[in-house]
Chains A and B, each alone.
Chain A
Amino acid sequence: MINQLFESTTIPVLEQVVNFAQTRHSLLAGNLANLDTPGYKVRDLSPQAFESKLKQAISHRHESATNRSLGDITQAVNNPIGQISGELETFLYHDESSGNLETQIAAVSKNQLQHNLALSIMTSQFRLLQTAISERV
């Protein structure tokens, strides 16, 4: 029941986005470090694949929301949104093209912006929940 407290907000979705952004950041940093390594293949986590997976998980969650009963703790374990972080390896692809400095840096920038955006929204959602719980505005 306590886990369902978060189901009505966007917190699970944002959690996954933040996790993805952080993992992708370390991968891109590795690319930048290896820009001049001969024969190095650029590695990346595909954000498009992540977004479509997330979309599927969200619609799946909305469908199964009506079947969820109060006090069913095991539902949290099978939460479809939580499964994305376990499948991050499937999004990895090896690029044949040489790592362009500008494209890598741009990817790092975009990733950072997305991460900060998701984190800010998640923080405000947590604050809202705290307001509701403490009844103090």
Chain B
Amino acid sequence: MFSTLDISTSALVAQRTRVTAIASNIANVSTTHNEAGEAEPFQPRFVVFEADNSIQGPGGAPGVKVASVEISNVEPNWKFQPGHPDAIKQGPRAGYVAYPNVDMTTEFVDALEATRAYEANVGVIEVTKNLTQQSLKIIA
């Protein structure tokens, strides 16, 4: 019963996961080494959505789910900082430090989009609840 609510809820969960990934990207905008301590710049994460057929509304409308959280593989930003502990010791890039290539503007716009999608789905939930409450007036 009320599978329409399940569809909207799946969207809320998916958008929240997306915002979490964006928040993680922005928080790690200057992270030059990973948890193991190796000099590896942080790679921004992005989420992949897909239609979820296990949550089906009437008429076959699917919900949404996060298929995977992918780690992108972009060229890091190189900055010349010879005194930095994570600077490259030898080779053509000696003295350069690899910073994550996180574009703040893109991340912020994505976060805005995710917020609007979240609000839209909350609006849909309100309408669904309203429909059922109104249909109670058939009886009373």
* A–B contact, 8 Å CB criterion (strictly below): yes
Tell me the A residues contacting B by CB distance below 8 Å: 100, 102-103, 106, 109-110, 113-114, 116-117, 120-121, 123-124
Whether, in the assembled complex, B74 has its beta carbon less than 8 Å from a beta carbon of chain A, the answer is no
- Asked if A113 meets B132 with Cβ closer than 8 Å, knowing A100-B13, A106-B6, the reply is yes
CB distance from B139 to the nearest CB of A (A): 5
Compute how far the CA of A69 lies from the CA of B32 in the bound complex, rounded to whole angstroms: 82
Whether, in the assembled complex, B90 has its beta carbon less than 8 Å from a beta carbon of chain A, the answer is no
- Asked if A102 meets B13 with Cβ closer than 8 Å, knowing A116-B133, A120-B136, A124-B139, the reply is yes
Q: In chain A, what residue has the closest Cβ to B13?
A: A102
Which residues of the partner chain A approach B125 to less than 8 Å between Cβ atoms?
106, 109
Q: In chain B, what residue has the closest Cβ to A114?
A: B1
Which residues of the partner chain A approach B13 to less than 8 Å between Cβ atoms?
100, 102-103
CB distance from A108 to the nearest CB of B (A): 10
Which residues of the partner chain A approach B1 to less than 8 Å between Cβ atoms?
110, 114
Which residues of the partner chain A approach B2 to less than 8 Å between Cβ atoms?
110, 113-114
CB distance from B134 to the nearest CB of A (A): 11
Count A/B pairs, Cβ under 8 Å: 38
Compute how far the CA of A117 lies from the CA of B6 in the bound complex, rounded to whole angstroms: 18
- Asked if A117 meets B132 with Cβ closer than 8 Å, knowing A109-B125, A110-B2, the reply is yes
Compute how far the CA of A114 lies from the CA of B139 in the bound complex, rounded to whole angstroms: 15
Q: Can you list 25 A-B pairs, Cβ within 8 angstroms, ordered by A?
A: A100-B13, A102-B9, A103-B9, A103-B13, A106-B5, A106-B9, A106-B125, A109-B129, A110-B1, A110-B2, A110-B5, A113-B2, A113-B129, A113-B132, A114-B1, A116-B132, A116-B136, A117-B132, A117-B136, A120-B136, A120-B139, A121-B139, A123-B139, A123-B140, A124-B139
Which residues of the partner chain A approach B5 to less than 8 Å between Cβ atoms?
106, 109-110
Interface string of B11-31 (1 = CB under 8 A from A): 011001000000000000000
Compute how far the CA of A109 lies from the CA of B132 in the bound complex, rounded to whole angstroms: 11
Structural contact, B129 and A102, CB atoms closer than 8 A = no
Structural contact, A102 and B139, CB atoms closer than 8 A = no
